[in-house]
Amino acid sequence: MEKQDQEIFPELGKDAVPSSSSSVERERRVLELQLYSDFIRIVLEIINAILVNGLPQNPELVYALLHRREVFEPFEKDSKYTDLMENIHLVIDHFGRKVDAVVSNENENVTAEKVLEVIKTGSMGWRKEKLRTFPELRFSYEEEASPEDFFVPYVWSLIVSSLSIPWTLSAITAFVPVMPKEVDDAGREGSLEQQQQGDGGGGAAKSEIEMQSRTAAENSSDAV
């Protein structure tokens, strides 16, 4: 593990893994570190894309960079992130000097709203040519060996939980069904299947009564 990695991820440093740990545990830590490093690089690439293509429209991002500038300091020392930190450092330095100038001239404490106003004003004359451009980010979906093991149960779970169909939940084996609570005409809560079981055929009797009522109404209309 490199020294820069130990500074960014101290919990994954060499001291975090006892010497008695197995090679499997050490390999797991290395893979975990690589995963975190790749994720950080993606985040920095996204920040760069926003700064290059839409800095004036995102003053809140600039404010966040200034407010948490110390978070990015370890990445400036790591060779894996040097290229991505160039633009971020330039933006922090440029707008930081503008905010510092306002702070030094103000007799009272500067509010967050005032800092944001300074950033918006400074963004009006900002030229994106100052920043280094990077290739457009592109992501692709990497399909695993058996994607149906995940997608088939997941899609069916969405179908069952979204549609008000009297499913026979006890017969479902592909996944564990979780039905949303429904409130029937009597104000009872429970799944659709529970309501049907509790009705004991009451639903069919209710439908028959409604049909008889409609027939009687039609006969009355004909008589008139």
The predicted structure's pLDDT at residue 45: 93
pLDDT average, residue stretch 205-212: 46
The predicted structure's pLDDT at residue 222: 47
pLDDT average, residue stretch 69-79: 90
**Best mean pLDDT range from 44-48, 191-195, 206-210:** 44-48
- Mean pLDDT computed over every residue of the chain: 77
**Chain-centre distance of CA 162, in angstroms?**
22
The predicted structure's pLDDT at residue 113: 92
What predicted TM-score, i.e. pTM, was given to this entire model? 0.55
The predicted structure's pLDDT at residue 150: 86
pLDDT at 163 over 70: yes
pLDDT average, residue stretch 32-36: 90
How is the chain split into domains, by residue range?
Answer: 3-130, 146-178, 181-224
| Segments in 10-111 forming alpha helices (H) | 23-54, 59-67, 73-76, 82-105
Separation CA 169–CA 196 (nearest Å): 12
pLDDT at 76 over 70: yes
pLDDT average, residue stretch 96-101: 91
Residue 5's Cβ-count burial label (10 Å; 0-12, 13-18, 19+) is buried
